[in-house]
Structure 1
């Protein structure tokens, strides 16, 4: 009974010794794959020339980035221009906001003289203006930054949309009005626009 090894001693004899790097090294295939990947990365970096002349930068031209000019690939989309520039005030319905922004739908300024509408878009309006029998007092910004073809498309869209049935406007009207005026400030309300309409073109 005294000569039998204890239970704890027998359990220790069954356990394997902890592996060591000397007795169980990393498999050679893993080392070879790792080395091959590192070598590939180094060769790729050296051959791809990532350290070229930084002054060259992006070699695309301005024409590549800007895309086709408005109207170059078809008609300019007046509806899209309206959504981008006008819908916040005049609403998608063209009804405006009562007492704040005048309606375009049924507006005598939209359906009336093309030249007056062109000048409203080019130079904006500030002050009292009567639209469909209601007086509005506010300000409309100028859209001189838009090209003649874009302004013509926008004007044509609002003149022929909703209940409006007026004809389209041509880009040369905006070109002519830009050259004919040296105005730098918005029109002073509806009275100034009526004075413009009474002058010969």
Structure 2
């Protein structure tokens, strides 16, 4: 004879029923939209020819990135805008007490070798420009080509109130080849030593 289950206790009667798992399919509209988006993406990839349209990405070759070919004129102002304007400003006035001015700077209009080496190796530490002392660091731009450095140096030497002669790419090339320096110049003292005691 089967035993009868005891009646539920008041505590058991207060309990909620055990949850059950139910399958709730994705609504057909959501499934349809998802499928349409996937098909549109596949169609775009197949029809867009991404390897032939420059507008769809950077298509430059290693030769393109190496710089302009020999004999092509380089715009020094463009090089300045891309690399220098954030610190020294479009006016060449720099930022007071932060970045020194290039306009009227004795380091810019003075000995061309000094400017060439500043561009190639950078400078860190104390530097006096137009009677004001600056404490900071300028990075090296040795990653730019000789012609690009010569163009930007010539631009700053002849812009604003500066009236110095342009700087030749051969000077940059010679200084790059002759130097074994692997760190920036140590402020004004290092630059003066390079210039033979004068700037």
Fold-level match, TM-score > 0.5?
A: yes
| Equivalent position SS for 1:198 | coil
2:126 corresponds to 1:128: yes
Give me the TM-score of the superposition, normalised by structure 2: 0.66
Following the alignment from structure 1 to structure 2, what is the Cα–Cα distance between the partners of residues 171 and 130?
27
SS at match of 1:139: strand
CA RMSD of aligned residues (A): 2.5
5+ residue gaps, structure 2, are 1-45, 53-58
Aligned positions of 1:135-174 closer than 5 A:
135-174=133-172
The 1:182–1:72 alpha-carbon spacing in structure 2 relative to 1, beyond 3 Å, is closer
Provide TM-score, normalisation by structure 1: 0.66
In structure 2, how many angstroms separate the alpha carbons of the residues matched to 1:180 and 1:75?
A: 25
1:102-143 Cα shifts (integer Å, max 9, x gaps)? 000000000000000000000000000000000000000000
Q: Can you list the C-alpha shifts for 1:149-168, whole angstroms capped at 9, x where unaligned?
A: 00000000000000000011
Counterpart contact for 2:67–2:145, Cα < 8 Å? no
Q: After TM superposition, where is structure 1 displaced by more than 4 Å over at least 4 residues in a row? A: 57-61
Aligned equivalents of 2:100, 2:108: Cα separation in 1: 11
Q: Paired residues, what number?
A: 144
Distance 2:163 2:95 in 1: 22
- Check whether the contact 1:71–1:149 (CA below 8 A) recurs between aligned residues: no
Unaligned runs of 5+ in 1: 1-49, 51-56
| Residue 179 of structure 1: how far off its partner (Å) | 1.1
* Partner residue, 1:110: 108
The answer for the alignment partner of 1:180 in structure 2 is: 178
Match of 2:23 in 1: none
Question: 1:82·1:154 contact (CA, 8 Å) conserved in 2?
Answer: yes
For residues 8-29 of structure 1, what are the alpha-carbon distances to aligned partners after superposition, in whole Å with 9 as ceiling and x for unaligned?
xxxxxxxxxxxxxxxxxxxxxx
Conserved 8 A contact 2:109-2:162: yes
Instruction: Quote the Cα distance in structure 1 between the aligned partners of 2:95 and 2:137.
Output: 14
Change (3 A) 1:140 1:61: closer
- Matched residue, 1:62: 61
Q: Post-superposition shift, 1:69?
A: 4.5
